[in-house]
Chain A
Amino acid sequence: MLTLNSVSLVYTNGKASVNALVDINFQIEQGKSYAIIGPSGCGKTSLIFLMMGLLHPTKGEILFNGKPLLKPHRDTALILQEYGLLPWKTVWENAALGLKLRQVDEKEIKCILERVFEELELTECIDRYPSQLSGGQKQRVALARALSLKPKLLLMDEPLSALDALTRENLQEVILKLIKRYQMTSVLVTHSIEEAVYIGQKIVILSGRPGRICAQIDNPEQGTDGYRKKTSYHEKCSEVRSLLEVYSQ
């Protein structure tokens, strides 16, 4: 679905330049869920912005279904760390924005959003502004906005990092359920080992700056019932932790 061929990213500011990502080769297969994990400042966010088409590689190429990705693709949606909601729009207006920009007519927007809002238990909040919502509710609105576009690829940049533990676990369940129901391919960037193991069928480990892919681990039991309480889940967490310790040196 999405292919990254020898992708490198260098940030330049005047004469200074910083290597953010080096030689990333990575293939995202349709229907799978990926978790990318690495130490702070390793370029995780840059990587997800590259996949979204918001940044362009300094070297290498990114292909979406075989075609070069030059701008955000219609089939991709992004959820940001600080939710990315606009404070001046109500919950409804925020969620409707993507559809509005695609010139979907009001009637259809209403039809789509009512369904998504019911699914995400947001129906009571539609007239509120983001400042009147809890962190968990804000992230649900961000999810609603992404889902309303029926994306085939859902990119998430540390979407749950600002939330408390319980809300976080609850939203992990919601995300998993939605990925399945909407049959989306998903990429989650996180710094939480537990979250990466709980959500990623494939876990990608990045090294410290400049970010390189050090390891890709299969996580075949992901998504099975009660996975969080299984021994295999804890073993996988330990495996990821020890790899991170090695590569973040």
Chain B
Amino acid sequence: MNSNMNKTITYFAAALFLFVLWDILALLLRNPALPRPVPALIAFFEIFPQSLWRHFLISTYRVLVSLFIGLAIAVPLGLYLGREPKLDKWVSPQLYLTYPIPKIALLPVIFAIFNIGDLSKIILIVLIIFFQIIVTTRDAAQNIPANSVLSVLSLGATPGEIYRHVIIPACLPEIFTAARISLGTAISILFFTESFATFDGLGYFIFEAWSRVNYPEMFAGIIAISLQGFILFLILDFLQRRFCPWLYT
């Protein structure tokens, strides 16, 4: 309870500090594109219950579905590659060749094939975060101490049981790290894909307010997208505490 309290106070202090920095910057720049925090916050609390919440939920849905699909595909593949050096030898060069391609450039292709809906946005995000997750997971699976695997093999475990009792739990902390990094990436890509040919989502909301030169409203959108990232980060933290209790002893 006490540590929860401390954490809340720390987060509150950090937020306050950021708002002060923001205020100083706004005062120095004196540019309407960077309003001071108080009007921006007032705009946020005014608009959120009216229309912003809908864009918030739509964007959150898109991020979560993309993250879930990305993890569901890349984690099992990464774990398997990490434990099968022969297959990895064959797949690795292909991963390394395709990893650096800026997949965001494929956006027009994906829009052309899958139309401009949720599906194309999700496909683009999955395509990008897939690489981050698979490489991190594979490396984690490769680095599992041989002793952990051998000791469980000596107990008569089947390959499936080795995955269940050793490989998956050993890689969970790195999978969470990959999920956290991918979450940030997913939000950024989504913002980009929502910025045109769309009528919902936080990206749309922010760009639409910008086009109307309504800066406080635009900043309400920016606060919403930041809040979205923060809440999803907290959820990942909570899940990691729940599923990796040994890291917190």
Contacts and interface: CB of A to CB of B under 8 A. Distances in A.
B249 A97 contact: no
A86 interface: yes
Given A82-B147, A97-B165, A129-B249, A88 B170 contact: yes
B90 interface: no
Interface stretch (A73-81, A188-196, A207-215): A73-81
Interface string A71-115: 110101110111111111100000001100110000000000000
Interface residues of B, number: 21
> For the complex, would chain B's binding face be called helix, strand, loop or mixed by DSSP majority?
helix
A102 B249 CA distance: 30
A149 interface: yes
A58 interface: no
B1 interface: no
B153 interface: yes
A154 to B, nearest CB: 11
B155 A101 contact: yes
A54 B147 CA distance: 12
Given A54-B150, A97-B165, A101-B161, A87 B155 contact: no
A49 B148 contact: no
A149 B155 CA distance: 9
Contact of A131 (B151, B172, B246): B246
B151 A85 contact: yes
A52 interface: yes
> For the complex, would chain A's binding face be called helix, strand, loop or mixed by DSSP majority?
loop
Residues of A in contact with B, size category: 20 to 34
A238 interface: no
A142 B153 CA distance: 14
Interface string A120-132: 0000000011011
B117 interface: no
Interface string B126-161: 000000000000000000010110111111110001
Contacts of B157: 101
Contacts of A71: 156
B156 A86 contact: no
B155 A88 contact: no
A87 B169 CA distance: 9
A97 B155 contact: yes
A84 B156 CA distance: 14
Contacts of A80: 147, 150-151
Given A78-B151, A80-B150, A72 B156 contact: yes
Interface string A44-70: 000001001010000000000000000
Contacts of A52: 154
B153 A54 contact: yes
A72 B155 contact: yes
B166 interface: yes
B156 A97 contact: no
A143 to B, nearest CB: 13
Contacts of B169: 86, 88-89
A87 B246 contact: yes
B150 A101 contact: no
Interface of B: 145, 147-148, 150-157, 161, 165-166, 169-170, 172, 244-246, 249
18 contacts: A49-B150, A71-B156, A74-B156, A77-B154, A78-B151, A80-B150, A80-B151, A81-B147, A86-B165, A86-B169, A88-B169, A88-B172, A88-B244, A101-B156, A101-B157, A129-B249, A131-B246, A149-B155
Given A72-B155, A86-B152, A88-B172, 13 more contacts: A72-B156, A76-B154, A77-B154, A81-B147, A84-B147, A86-B148, A86-B165, A86-B169, A88-B244, A88-B246, A129-B249, A132-B249, A145-B155
Top 9 A-B pairs ranked by shortest CB distance?
A84-B151, A78-B154, A88-B169, A98-B155, A129-B246, A88-B246, A84-B147, A129-B249, A82-B147
Interface of A: 49, 52, 54, 71-72, 74, 76-78, 80-89, 97-98, 101-102, 128-129, 131-132, 142, 145, 149
